[in-house]
Amino acid sequence: MLRASSRMEEDAGEVEAFLVRHGLDRYTALLINNEDGVGSSLESLRLADDATLTEVGLPQSARQRLLRAIEAPAEEPERPASQPGAPQPGAPPGRGPAAGGARPSSADASASSTPRW
């Protein structure tokens, strides 16, 4: 019983997070507390159509936005932006500025061996 309850809470949290991401968080309680279970999980929400969402009581603009969000491909988790000097995908390990693997050109070598006064 405890597992089912925590799973229901987890599902409701996922639905709430989805609605927040799409600017529809004001309808969280309406969907999650629906007796037909429309917002009981993301899976249930994805099965909803315009008629079902109308029955739930969502206004037309919210229904349209929700249906577009449901139909959109699943979002990929954000990746941290690559940092300057970080190895690029496909680059051999140990090469690049961060690893000290950059080799100076002959012009750089001659300039660095000549003192600047």
Helix, strand, coil tally for the chain in percent (to 5): 55, 0, 45
Domains of the chain are 2-71 (1.10.150)
Give the tens place of pLDDT for each residue, 51-71.
Answer: 999 999 999 999 999 999 999
The token pair that represents 53 in the structure block: 């969402």
Higher pLDDT, 24 or 110: 24
Residue 69: closest CA among 30, 28, 20, 34: 20
- Model confidence, pTM: 0.59
Q: Rounded distance, CA 83 to CA 65, Å? A: 35
